[in-house]
Structure 1
């Protein structure tokens, strides 16, 4: 699976000055795979075709993956402590809002069509054709 952004794209944004390149590239590849899976396109995006609106989503996913790889929501160290608020995704996974952005960019937000097949035969009244319906309606 190819990464949708490069390490240079990542370090061009604030907060990644001291990022380890090998670790960041691994997380970028993982985040890219998740974005491609969420987009659910017949032809997956590449680094050249990924929409610009998806790049910040990838950057935020990578930021969470690098800064909080265990997905912790709180920590207490002596007098110091912090607690994450809300039920948002921690770690590498996309939030609900990020999923919506990805799906909107992919054009897969909303309802889809599904073709259903059945091996069951049609009832006799369904196979009678147009004449049957007309005779039935005339009798009313």
Structure 2
């Protein structure tokens, strides 16, 4: 797939990272992505990168004055979680942790029917991994949630 094919998606996550070139390679290796584009400016910053996980594109660029509004990003915490549908949640989680991700939530079977886990990469982005392991009646989900205490 090419970067142009990504433009057919309705929503595309656009990650801003320090050393985005390293992050691009890391994400492809760790999460099974395929690099589609890498554009570097004269100063060596990754001005635009694109990779695919499955048929979903993710854009990426360096955090610098020529890209985005980097002043707003200083000391920011990402409140976005990228959700990956995977064949084997436990294997994907173990691979991510082995590659340096911080465990946020170990693999667990959830009330909504998915096996689910979450990690945080060294750039502060969270990645959830999920696989449906059982079908759950949608009407029962609210009842289950109402009975839970947090």
Q: TM-score range by the shorter chain?
A: under 0.3
Give me the TM-score of the superposition, normalised by structure 1. Answer: 0.26
Give the TM-score taking structure 2 as reference length. Answer: 0.25
Structure having the larger proportion of residues in helix: 1
Higher fraction of strand: 2
- Structure having greater relative contact order (Cα 8 Å, sep ≥ 6): 1
Larger radius of gyration: 1
